[in-house]
Structure 1
């Protein structure tokens, strides 16, 4: 049975948490139109959608009539999506239906727009339009297709990923669609995998200073033996400069003195990794075999923090698992001293 998802714009309520109560598992929020319009409710709509537990994605209403306008609109959509706090972890949709563009080269302009989004670091894109535009071959069909077609028993377009079947769901003046593939209703990824990498924060000034947050912290030697009396040094609230990370006694530990390590679980970095470097610089993740994921540096930016799912030694070197398929080198994170 396909899952339900809605789409909203400034014509809908700012607080869209009610959509979850209707049984929908996702929502696509209008972000931009052309290169001059931004949905003033988009921030509240995306935030209330996320807080309600549904998947949240974005769409752009296209006005492009040539190649350069398509590029400009993709850049505009990209920039506003970033302002809203998204970073590759949502589906970016081209809404191509404006009457004034129907006699332009919509096929190639749309293809240009979507390829530009992918180039900018949004690997999940989709295309929305009316069934009649697909029937008339106005649009490319090698992207996930979201088809609007009302009053019928099926979308009417082969291999449609989703079908918008009503604009007045439950009498609420709300567009509602069926998701046939899970694209809009299952958790999307931070960079490469089928499940999300979970971004948990962005510190203002990350460096290699770690803070003890546990009241019972103890230190270790590199050989895994506990340092006698180390709890007197590792008092809650104290800060230490770390010059390295090593896997000791079954977990990552920070080197804070000569053969003196403190477990990460006793610090402000417990359960997370903080990517090193400036905010505008990204670092590439790898797969479980140590092979770099193309474009992952668009998502894992300096100063961002990510929930750790596990740790793994790859070629005898410590990596943090931050999504189903993404692993981050311990040399690339807070505390490594690199």
Structure 2
């Protein structure tokens, strides 16, 4: 069975219910950000890390840590590695703890950053840590900024069918919107279970991952005036970041809207679902996929909980559908926020 893990920082919650919710959805492991930069630089320690660790362990999760990399020299790389190591020691974790260097900051020198990462990882390895790896977006590996063959590698690449990187790949962060929110989620091929590393030829999962809990909770991304069923703007205003329960998806003025009350609707384009969907279909059954002519696409059905980056809306045979691939569409009726059961 494919395993997967969440990664979190101070932006996520630290209460026990948050971690128990992950476990209930089948997520058994978590990487927690502890530090950023060095004592001479950002000098950042995640203020929630102690509580996040405590409650993750209370929920029986496996725990690892990551450091956000800002180094501008070899000496700085060592200082950052020491800063990160001390945070792990302070939290009471040992040498076999999963430890990651998060390499993505736009201020990094892309001509020299690979050397700095080598220094950071080599320092931790020399201290006896046995589960150290690097993280970045697929483009940095494919452009040669970082080398996925030199170190164990966790790749970020969204909206694709495979991680897109060859080498010593041990994990793939395949979404930043798992469960309908802003939660990252990754496939684990060798971090918490320490299995042999995968290559690109075998990176695509052979089975569906555990499904996130599909809920009809939507979140606004900007200040919004709702409308009624006729598209007439209502006087009240809802703030960005506010969340609502949707009971249906309705077309108003040629745009799909979530129904959040008897005659109150907000457009999908002003929610976190504006460019992705989560499939919501009958448990145990696969949701059908259609082409632009309304014909069902063979061998393209998808299961509940699977998420897709969408590329526009199409009305096909009078039914609003989200485009999920070239000439492949899924009805909004079969996505989070609808009344379909």
Output the TM-score relative to the length of structure 2: 0.53
RCO greater where, 1 or 2, for CA within 8 Å and sep 6 or more?
Answer: 1
1:105–1:58 distance in 2 versus 1, CA, 3 Å: same
Q: Distance in 1 between matches of 2:104 and 2:194?
A: 26
- For the pair shown, which has the larger CA radius of gyration, 1 or 2? 1
Q: Distance in 1 between matches of 2:180 and 2:192?
A: 23
1:116 corresponds to:
123
Contact map agreement 2:32 2:49 (CA 8 A) in 1:
yes
Which runs of no fewer than 5 residues in structure 2 stay unpaired? 196-341
Give 4+ residue runs of structure 1 displaced > 2 Å after superposition. Answer: 184-187
Indicate whether 1:22 and 2:47 are aligned. Answer: no
1:31 corresponds to:
34
Instruction: Find the partner of 2:147 among 140, 145, 149.
Output: 140
Q: CA deviation at 1:59?
A: 0.1
Q: Distance in 1 between matches of 2:59 and 2:82?
A: 29
Instruction: Find the partner of 1:153 among 154, 157, 161.
Output: 161
Output the TM-score relative to the length of structure 1: 0.53
Q: Distance in 1 between matches of 2:194 and 2:59?
A: 14
2:5 corresponds to:
5
2:290 corresponds to:
none
Contact map agreement 2:111 2:145 (CA 8 A) in 1:
no
Q: Distance in 2 between matches of 1:33 and 1:99?
A: 14
Indicate whether 1:40 and 2:47 are aligned. Answer: yes
Report how many residues are paired. 186
Q: CA deviation at 1:4?
A: 1.2
Q: Show the 5 A alignment for 1:49-64.
A: 49-64=56-71
The RMSD of aligned alpha carbons is 1.6
Q: Distance in 1 between matches of 2:86 and 2:104?
A: 22
Instruction: Find the partner of 1:126 among 123, 133, 144.
Output: 133
Contact map agreement 1:162 1:179 (CA 8 A) in 2:
yes
1:174–1:185 distance in 2 versus 1, CA, 3 Å: farther
Q: Distance in 2 between matches of 1:140 and 1:72?
A: 22
Q: Distance in 2 between matches of 1:185 and 1:32?
A: 24
